[in-house]
Every structure is written in structure tokens, then in C-alpha cells.
Amino acid sequence: MRGLTKEYVIRRLFMYVLTIWLGSTLIFLIPRLVPGDPIAAMVTRMQQQAGYVENSAEIIAAWRARFGLDAPLSIQYLRFLRNSVTLDLGYSLTQFPTKVTEQISKSLPWTIGLLALATVISFILGNTIGALMAWRRTPRAVKSLLPLSLTFTSVPFFMLGILLLYVFAFGLKWFPVGGGYGRGVTMGLNLEFIGSALYHAVLPALAIIISSMGFWALGMRGMMITTAGEDYMVLADAKALTPARIFWGYGVRNSILPQVTALALALGGIVGGAVLVEYIFSYPGMGYLLYQGIVNNDYTIIQGVVFILILTTATAVLILDLLYPFVDPRISYQRR
């Protein structure tokens, strides 16, 4: 394990646990600190809709027991922590016998697939554009076109999603208006399903890619400008290395490091934005599940989805952090 010192790993693991603890404590504590008893209100709301829920009394009883309404806050909190650690997220309120974890395990792969695809493409594309923008040898024509790709940089994912939906699904009818895969396609590892899933993922992924790649491009441009002034770039030139080698091996290789850190920092925002994109496109991922939870006042679903997404984000950041010393060997020597 070259590059990974014990101290570094321990520090990162500590951050991982701290992040998850802080996030879950916030979603536990704040709803209980605001004026009004959210759980009482929730039970009333449930009773109002209980007309069509067959065993509503049972659910309410189960819910009360689940949250231990009579127990003091500290006991409730400890229980909450225990349940979080064991991933026991309880039952869905609106679809009673289904467990929250069951619903989430159906949705999570969609979200992770969409996010991984979109983020990787946007990261690669954005960084390449940014590097080219700052590169001396980029052809003039290309250089004047590149800033166009930044047009939508500051537009939120979901607003771009609405625009794309209107133009490409409603207007031109090139892409489906929503969903994760076509009707009549059976889920499974066959070409038809994968093709259909990718086809449905194009617009949501584009919404994320187009609006986030400018962020990478701008960061990369700044870094490349700094790198271009370094002595080793002059030396590489003097050694008559091919421009491609200088660009990728010297310029991009050295400029990409802060971008990896930036990716770790931006991930939380990207996940939040993706949730709304899924809602716009009725994409069957966590965002859509969350929206249904909001509409149905299904608090266990809302809390469960958010907890799992915090967990997923923190895990992704941990993985990035643990990979970082391999990308940047200096980090293992340096005590921060």
C-alpha cells in the first residue's frame, strides 16, 4: 500500500463517521427542535387519510412504538442511532408491509448508475475543455468555440432538465418524457433492457453533464494557467516531447489534483441536484422515491432515503479520499 499511511486512513475514516453522524443527527434533531410536535401532527395527518388504509390503527401504534413517543429525547436519539447503524429504517407508512430498505434497494441502483455515469462524463469532458482553454497550442477555432460549452454552467440541473424535457421530449419527441425503461421491457441483464435504460437516461444525464461541466472547466483552466508557468513545462518543451505528451502527461497530470479534491467537495451538491432531476424526469431512483414520500407524508421513506443518500455520498467521498494519495504521491509525505 504505497502512499496510504496509517495516519491518513484513520483521519479519513474519522471524517467519514463524523460526516454520517452529523448528517443523521441533523435530520433527527432539527425536526424535533422546531415548534410544534411533528410526530403528533404526522399521526393526525395519517388519521385523516386513514379512511382507506386498512390497518391504520396498527400502523399508528407501530409508529408510536417505533419512535418511542413517550421516551425522553435522549433515549429516542440513542434508539435512532442504533437503528441507523443496523440500517433498520422501519416500514413505509403508505405501503405498510414494505420495509423502507426494500424500497430503497430498488431505487438506489438507478440513482448510483445515473450519477456515476453523468459525473464521470462531466468530469472528464469539463476538465478536457478547461485544459484546452488554457493551452497555448489549442487551435484558434476550437478556442473560440470552447466558451460556448460554459453557457449553462450556473443553471441548476433541474431547470436545465425542464428545458431539455420540453425541447427534446415534448417538442422534437426524440427521447421519452420520463421513466427509467420502456414499457414491456423486462428488467434483467439483457441487451434490450440495458439499451432502453440508457435511452431513458440520456436526458437526465445530459441535464447534469451540461450544467456541471463548466464548473470543472473553469477550475481546470485556472490550474492549467498556473501549471503552464512551471519550469518542468519549459523543460518538457526543450526536450521536444510531443505536444500531446506535454498536454496530458505534464499539464493535465499536474493540474488535475485539486480537481479531485473539488470533486469530493462538490459531490454533496451534485447528489442534491440529481434528486431534483429524477423528480423532473420521473426517473425511478432515490429522488423520485423521495418526492413520493413528500407527497404522501411518508416520513420513514423521507428519512430513510436521505440517510442512505448521506451514507452513499460520504462513502463516495471516502473512496475518493483514499484514492487521492495514489493520484498525488506527495500527500503521504506531507503532514497537514
Nearest-approach distance from CB 330 to another protein, in angstroms: 18
Distance CA 26, CA 317 (A): 19
As given in the structure block, the three cell numbers for residue 117 are 455515469
Nearest-approach distance from CB 310 to another protein, in angstroms: 6
- Positive or negative, the CA dihedral 81, 82, 88, 94 is negative
**Which residue's CB is nearer to another protein, number 205 or number 298?**
298
Pick between residue 153 and residue 332 the one whose CB is nearest to another protein.
153
* CA nearest neighbour of 203 among 141, 117, 74, 323: 117
Tell me the closest approach of the beta carbon of residue 31 to another protein, in angstroms: 4
Which of 180/273 has CB closer to another protein? 273
What torsion do the CA atoms of 30, 34, 39, 43 make, to the nearest 10 degrees? -140
Other Cβ atoms within 10 Å of 215 Cβ, number? 22
CA dihedral 307, 309, 314, 319 (to 10 degrees): 140
Closer residue to another protein, CB minimum distance, 256 or 302? 302
Q: Tell the smallest beta-carbon distance from residue 194 to another protein (Å).
A: 27
Whichever of 182 and 272 has its CB closer to another protein, that residue is: 272
Query: Contact 250/236 with Cβ under 8 angstroms?
Result: yes
* Least spacing, CB of residue 24 vs another protein, in Å: 9
Nearer to another protein, 181 or 215 (CB): 215
H helical segments located in the chain = 6-33, 38-49, 56-67, 73-85, 100-134, 140-145, 157-164, 191-228, 231-238, 243-245, 253-280, 286-295, 299-327
> How far, CA to CA in Å, does 104 sit from each of 142, 260, 285?
44, 29, 8
Rounded least distance, CB 212 to another protein, Å: 13
Instruction: Please identify, using beta-carbon distances, which residue of 166 and 326 lies nearer to another protein.
Output: 166
The 3-class secondary structure across 92-147, one letter per residue, is CCCCCCCEHHHHHHHHHHHHHHHHHHHHHHHHHHHHHHHHHHHCCCCCHHHHHHHH
Number of Cα atoms under 13 Å in the Cβ half of residue 273: 26
Comparing CB distances to another protein, the nearer of 201 and 224 is: 224
Comparison of 1 and 33: residue with beta carbon closer to another protein: 33
CB of 14 to another protein, least distance (A): 8
Instruction: Read off the C-alpha cell for 183.
Output: 414499457
Least Cβ distance, residue 168 to another protein (angstroms): 11
Residues of the shown chain interacting with another protein in the complex, contacts defined by CB under 8 A: 15, 18-19, 22-23, 26-27, 30-31, 34, 36, 38, 42, 134, 136, 147, 153-156, 158-159, 162-163, 165-166, 170, 177, 218, 221-222, 225-226, 264-265, 267-269, 271-273, 275-276, 279-280, 290-291, 293-295, 297, 299, 302-303, 305-306, 309-310, 313-314, 317
Minimum CB–partner distance for residue 220 and another protein (Å):
12
- Enumerate residues 6+ apart whose C-beta is below 8 A from 320: 260, 263, 264, 267
